[in-house]
Structure formats: structure tokens, C-alpha cells
Amino acid sequence: MQRIALIANHSKPQVYGVARDLMAWLERRGVEPLVPAGTAEGIGCPERGIGAEGLARADCVLSLGGDGTLLQAARLVAKMGIPILGVNLGHLGFLTEIELNELFPSLERLLRGDFRIEDRMMLSACLERDGRKTSFTALNDVVITKGAFSRMLRLEVYVDEAYLDTYPADGLIVSSPTGSTAYSLSAGGPLVSPELQVMIITPICPHTLYARPLVVRGDREIRVRVHAPGAEVMLTVDGQQGVHLDDGDEVLTSRAETPARLIRLQGRSFYSLVREKLREGGNRHSLEEPGDGE
């Protein structure tokens, strides 16, 4: 590891102090820290800032924040094949690998090469409107949803060229296995082990008794045509990027060509992580360990 990039959540009050300490620690060990312009300005050394193209020089990326920061980092560097180590400065931290108090011992392991890489399937989304195409990449999910005061949508769904159904609903989620623990879970979707190559279709508040989440193979393409004349409709990607949709727009979602590469230092399984993190998130009584009951 010769160059390590820092991608930080600037809304975290401690992030600039952590970034300064981290830069000094790396430089003492002969590692060049690469700092995006916004973070460099926040820590008082704007001359050190790099643009997005400078990230391509990194051997790995440290995301300083929470899951949202890691999602942002994945969209920035996945196509470059750069691995990401998530440092949790937030609360739940389902995707991040280490807590702040583990940072420097974990970095010692990283520099020794004592880690493994876990590939996570990403999603490629394309908005088609009047012959024009706009592309997005997501690690968690691609979501179509109505506005606060809009009427119910009608969402016509195809898997490849096979017609699935037209859902009367508040929206629809197409998630990756990684995203199965996010919005899709809240909407009643299944938990899916992250090494699987699948996509999950989850209707949001469908106005029908038979609509259920559906898991499809990762090599399929999911096409959703929006029927919502006069309604406010949004397309959101990982809950961070969004555009308005018009009646008749189509959103095509498929597996992205390159996965996100996450650095793993811990020996925790996905199943223990689900139990521990979802319990922290408020489901303490529904996810008890064997023997926890009174």
C-alpha cells in the first residue's frame, strides 16, 4: 500500500480531526495520503486536495463516516477496482468494517497485507426517456417512489422480455444482495446473503394482496415502465442521487460490470452481523440469540 485515499462525510463533527491524524500517521509510515479537495479544505490544507481523477492513483480507499459514505465511495471507485475499508463514525454501520477506536491497529494489519477482499455485486441503472439515456451505478438499490402528495403509481415490470406484473403501489425497489438489509428490508423484502448474484424486486406498499418480493438471477434485466400522469415520481440511487421521472419513463436495472471490493479484517459472518447490527438498529426483541428468552 503506497497511496491511500480518504473519502469523508463532512457532516460528522470529528471527521476533520480524524483525517488530520490519519494523514500524519500514514506519512510517518511512508504512505501517501490522497485527500479530495473538500476534505483538504476542511482540515486547513487546500493545496493537498485532489480531484476525482486523482483517486485512480490509490491502492485503497478509507471511507470515514457511515454506510452512506461507503456507498458514495463505492460508486466513485468500483469501476477502478480499488478496494474500500469502511471506518464507522456513525451509529449502525452495517457495511463499514471497523470502529474508530480500531482504526490504527487495523491500518497496521492493512499495511502488512493481513486482510481479504470481499466482492459485492453492484447495480447498473439506465433511465430511458424519449430516446435519451441517463446511467447510474448503485451498491444498495435503485428505487422508484411517489411524492408525498401524489396518487398511487402503476409500475409495469418486465424481467428480460417477460412481463411480470403491473403493480399499483407507492413505489418499487430493485436491490442487490447488499441492499437487502436496507430499504428493501423495511418494505418487507428478504435478507439475502451478500455473495449471491441476484436482484430483489420489492414493491412499496402495494395495493394488492398477492404482490410479494421476488428474487431473480443477477444476469437478468429488470425493466420498469412508469404510469403516473401528472404525479410527482422520483428515481433514487442508494438514497443519495435522485432525478424526477415522467409518465412513460422506463428504468432498466441490471448487474454492473464491476463489483465493489470491500476490505475485510474481521472474522464475523454475515449472519452474526445481521443479528448484531439489526438488533442495534432497534429490533432487539425480534432477533434474540438462542437462550436469550426469559
Instruction: In whole angstroms, give the CA distance from residue 109 to residue 103.
Output: 10
End-to-end CA distance of the chain: 50
Q: Which of 67, 141, 170, 249 is catalytic?
A: 67
Length of the chain: 294
Q: Packing angle between helix 103-112 and helix 15-28, nearest 10 degrees?
A: 40
Q: Does residue 193 sit in helix, strand or coil?
A: coil
What is the distance between the alpha carbons of residues 215 and 60, in angstroms, rounded to a whole number? 32
The shares of helix, strand and coil residues in the chain, as percent rounded to the nearest 5, are 25, 35, 35
**E-strand spans in 9-104?**
32-36, 49-50, 60-65, 84-88, 98-99
67 an active-site residue? yes
Q: Residue 88: exposed, middle, or buried by beta-carbon count in 10 A (0-12, 13-18, 19+)?
A: buried
Q: Which helix (H) or strand (E) holds 15?
A: helix 15-28
Residue positions annotated with a catalytic role: 67
